[in-house]
């Protein structure tokens, strides 16, 4: 493969930029009483929700960089974390309808991450690593 598919570039930068926006959003809303009021509706403590949020942001940011570097582990980690966070969200979220936009984006991104040109991009990187050994 001669280069990174444009879809992978767009997805990678989308994950990186949205992760950075989430960091800013989390910082700005950390002391907001209205946000805490909504978070209190969940069955888990607010601090645990923040830990889960920060972990998710870090994983998504890391996946974005791995995808740019043609590391297959990036797409596997993204899909694995996406499924795990969706299941956890369905269990603990008091407003399940708010998960719908995230699920739609997750499905679209996953489809593009496993299209034939993306498979070739990630597998060609693996072949290069094998031939360098």
Q: What's the pLDDT tens digit per position in 11-64?
A: 999 999 999 999 999 998 888 888 888 888 888 888 888 899 999 999 999 999
Whether the predicted pLDDT of 128 surpasses 80: no
Q: Per this entry, what is the length of the chain? A: 133
Give the pTM. Answer: 0.85
Could you list the beta-strand ranges (E) of the chain: none
CB contact set of 1 (below 8 Å; sequence gap of 6+): 117, 120, 121, 124
**pLDDT at residue 111 greater than cutoff 80:** yes
pLDDT at 73: 96
**Separation of alpha carbons 108 and 14, rounded Å:** 12
Q: How far apart are CA 17 and CA 14, in angstroms?
A: 5
Whether residue 7 contacts residue 118, with contact meaning beta carbons closer than 8 Å, is answered with yes
- Please tell me the predicted confidence (pLDDT) of residue 125: 62
Q: Of all residues in the chain, what percent carry a pLDDT higher than 70?
A: 92
**What proportion of the chain, given as a percentage, has pLDDT over 90?**
61
| pLDDT score at 130 | 47
- How far apart CA 64 and CA 43 sit, in angstroms, is 30
* Residue 106 contacts residue 86 (beta carbons within 8 Å): yes
Supply the pLDDT for residue 118. 95
The mean pLDDT of 98-104, rounded to a whole number, is 92
């Amino acid at each position: 493969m001669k280069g990174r598919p444009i879809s992978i570039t767009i997805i990678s930068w989308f994950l990186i930029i949205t992760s950075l926006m989430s960091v800013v959003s989390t910082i700005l809303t950390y002391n907001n009483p209205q946000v805490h009021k909504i978070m209190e509706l969940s069955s888990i403590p607010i601090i645990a929700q923040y830990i889960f949020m920060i972990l998710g942001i870090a994983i998504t940011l890391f996946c974005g960089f791995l995808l740019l570097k043609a590391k297959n582990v990036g797409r596997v980690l993204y899909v694995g974390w996406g499924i795990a966070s969706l299941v956890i969200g369905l269990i603990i979220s008091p407003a399940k309808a708010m998960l719908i936009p995230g699920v739609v984006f997750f499905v679209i991104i996953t489809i593009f991450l496993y299209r034939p040109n993306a498979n070739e991009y990630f597998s060609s990187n693996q072949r290069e690593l094998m031939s360098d050994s």
